[in-house]
Structure 1
Amino acid sequence: MVIRKVLGSSKSFGEIKNKYLIIDKISHDTPEIIRLVDDTGQSPKEMSVTEALSISYDNNLDLVVINPSVSPPICKMIDLRKHAYTIRKNASEARKKQKTVETKEIKFRPVIDDSDYKVKIKSLTKFLAKGYKVKVDISFRGREIAHKDVGRALFNRIKVDVSDVAKIENETTSDIRHMIMILSSK
């Protein structure tokens, strides 16, 4: 004997529906007596499943099992579509409040002219002022790999020049071809 069938059209409603044990029909494994918690949160009242299903059907609500492990099981009448909507809305608001920090990358070469260096430092400070993290990459090519000391000197020069506006978040020493550090604003 089927008293009420819950229909779900949206994907998220189906996901919500699958998380809860819904009593929408009476079968051989449905308990005869349940404890029903009403909307006010008063102590559960024991009643038959058919009576609880008819009440939930009259109120256009779903009969959901809250705690199936106790005997008789505790059930509550809620509107699952409304519940799914509030869950989606809360998740959407949480995503809006979540701030993602983008990382900008500025590449240097160990042999860089003074004017080019100043332009790159200026753009680095602009990125930091806008709230971005900045990845500084000094890359070596060919015979430059043999002269890592020039790269380290440039690395230290960058640290000194941006020390008033940035803090070093991560400084990896180097692999064969790169020296990398990540800066964030103070």
Structure 2
Amino acid sequence: MGKRYKQYKNYNTERINEDIDAPKVRVIKPDGEHEIVSSDRALVIARGLELDLVEVAADADPPVCRILDYKKFLYEKKKKEKDAKKKQHTVTIKELRFRPHTDDHDYNFKLKHAKSFLEEGNKVKATVQFRGRDIIYSDNGRDLLERFADDLKELGKIEAKPKLEGKRMSLIVAPAK
């Protein structure tokens, strides 16, 4: 039985059948019963049930081995990893751009988008772009960003205060959850 799984040896950390070199192992049988036996005896038990001996906890004293169908074990392990990856949520940063003299209607439109982004669990980066001589209105940009942060305080918390970097002033709001 050990030879048909040699192809899997490089991809998994578990040792199977003849690859287990510990003198004594704790064997967990398919019915849940366990006992401490020599690795040779455990291999005989596994072959008697036409299953494989798989080392699942090599660091334990003695190492823990299970008697099971190795291909089914690999399939279930791969399936669990795939499900865990699906449930994982990556946080993205959504950017909204303003000008120092942004009108109220445009501001409210972008505020509505920012609220939906925060409800989805994404971060929002609000940026005020200064062009040409607009830099003299940096106070207006700071006021706009502080107003923006104040309007979003029930949905998120300020992660980075407004700061001027070249001709851009930006603020980052993270979801409150």
* TM-score, normalization by structure 2: 0.70
CA deviations on 1:157-186 (whole Å, 9 max, x unpaired) are 3234x1464333312423122222223455
Alignment of 1:79-94 (within 5 A): 79-94=69-84
Deviations along 1:9-68, one digit per CA (max 9) or x if unpaired, are: 6x7x8522xx12223379xxx67x644624134321347x2x544442332322335548
Say whether the 8 Å CA contact 1:34–1:75 is kept in structure 2: no
Q: Which residue of 2 aligns with 1:118?
A: 108
Letter aligned with residue 45 of structure 1: V
Aligned pair in 2 of structure 1 residues 74, 137: CA closer, same or farther (>3 Å)? closer
Unaligned runs of 5+ in 2: none
Gaps of 5+ in 1: none
How much has 1:123 moved relative to structure 2?
3.1
Alignment of 1:77-156 (within 5 A): 77-156=67-146
Q: Measure, in 2, the Cα distance between the counterparts of 1:83 and 1:102.
A: 35
Partners of 1:168 and 1:25 in 2: how far apart? 54
* Percent of residue pairs identical: 30
Supply the AA of the counterpart residue of 1:42: H
Q: CA RMSD in A?
A: 3.6
C-alpha separation in 2, matches of 1:15 and 1:41: 29
Runs of 4+ in structure 1 off by over 6 angstroms are 68-71
| TM-aligned CA distance change 1:52 to 1:122, over 3 Å | closer
Query: Which of residues 140, 143, 157 in structure 2 aligns to 1:168?
Result: 157
Work out the number of aligned pairs and report it: 172
Q: TM-score, normalised by structure 1?
A: 0.68
Distance 2:170 2:142 in 1: 11
Partner secondary structure for residue 106 of structure 2: helix
Counterpart-to-counterpart distance in 2, 1:119 and 1:34: 69
Instruction: Report the CA distance shift for 1:75/1:149 in structure 2 as closer, same or farther (over 3 A).
Output: closer
Rg (Cα) greater in structure: 1
